[in-house]
Amino acid sequence: MLFLNKLLPLFFLPFGIVSGLALFAFWRRKPWVGLLALGLFYLCSMPLVSSSLIGWLETRYAEIPLERVEPVDAVVVLGGILGPRSAAQLQPNWLETVERFDAGVALVQSGKAGRLVFTGARMPWEDRETTEGAELQRLAIARGVPPGKIVVTRLIDNTATEAAAIAGLMKEQGWRRIILVTTGWHMPRSALLFRKAGVDFIPFPVDFRSDRTRTLSATDFVPKAEAWQMTETAIRECYGWMYYALPRP
């Protein structure tokens, strides 16, 4: 199921659709299908398109100033923060989502909660001896967070199991409310899953990718690789939200 969850959406994302159209155009010798694939490729590579899609997701939950956040029982930082471990292992290999970690540490150090929770993420294909949560625990201690304030959940593999793990932990610890920290474009799907799990939380989105104050320019129509990636990320998140929003029998 994990591999299906990660691989199946590829066929319905721009990469899969463009590849399918290109193969069909070559097989059936249909130039217009090839032009359609090229047009879709260009469209999805435009910063204007990618920024609009990511921006729509990010506007679902607004950024909150740290001083306005109400105190709760715990701060929960969702995983996906560390990349592959380096051979020397001298420095952590942070991903672009490192702001999740920074925000979680800042919230606890500012007295917004008595516990900092990391999720025990470890994918089957990762060459990692410990879970990501355990590594983040070590890094948070190095930032000055007392070891007794840090909790790492059981093993998880996606956002749905993160929500279930946190719901179980809250029941076990007697916690009533948490602050949920994740990337802005990931918050809509995360919020849906945590609500379904019965978790009461304050959403604290970080790491916003779109600049809503920026004026339109000619470069917004110039294709870029990072724009293509952002478009696929936004569409994948929408697929994920729709899948979990469907009623279950």
Model pLDDT for residues 17-68, shown as the tens digit of each residue:
999 999 999 999 999 999 999 999 999 999 999 999 999 999 999 999 999 9
Q: Which domain holds residue 84?
A: 66-206
Q: Is 200 a member of any domain?
A: yes
The pLDDT of residue 12: 86
Total domains in the chain come to 2
Diameter over CA atoms, the chain: 66
The CATH code of the domain that includes 77 is 3.40.50.620
Claim to verify: residue 26 and residue 142 sit in the same structural domain = no
- Tokens representing 91? 């420095």
Q: Is 214 a member of any domain?
A: no
pLDDT mean across residues, the chain: 91
Q: Is 26 a member of any domain?
A: yes
Claim to verify: residue 164 and residue 235 sit in the same structural domain = no
Claim to verify: residue 99 and residue 189 sit in the same structural domain = yes
pLDDT for 152 beyond 70: yes
Query: What pLDDT, in 10s, does the model give residues 124-143?
Result: 556 667 889 999 999 999 99
Q: Contact at 8 Å (CB) between 95 and 81?
A: yes
Query: What pLDDT, in 10s, does the model give residues 221-240?
Result: 999 999 999 999 999 999 99
Q: Is 3 a member of any domain?
A: no
Q: Which of 1-5, 128-132, 175-179, 185-189 has the weakest average pLDDT?
A: 1-5
Claim to verify: residue 173 and residue 95 sit in the same structural domain = yes
Q: Is 89 a member of any domain?
A: yes
Predicted TM-score (pTM) of this structure? 0.91
pLDDT for 173 beyond 70: yes
Claim to verify: residue 79 and residue 196 sit in the same structural domain = yes
Helix (H, G, I), strand (E, B) or coil at 180: strand
Nearest C-alpha neighbor of 165 from the set 194, 126, 201, 128: 194
Claim to verify: residue 44 and residue 111 sit in the same structural domain = no
Claim to verify: residue 235 and residue 118 sit in the same structural domain = no
Claim to verify: residue 109 and residue 39 sit in the same structural domain = no
Q: How far apart are CA 38 and CA 228, in angstroms?
A: 13
Claim to verify: residue 123 and residue 167 sit in the same structural domain = yes
For residues 92-105, give the mean pLDDT. 94
Q: Is 219 a member of any domain?
A: no
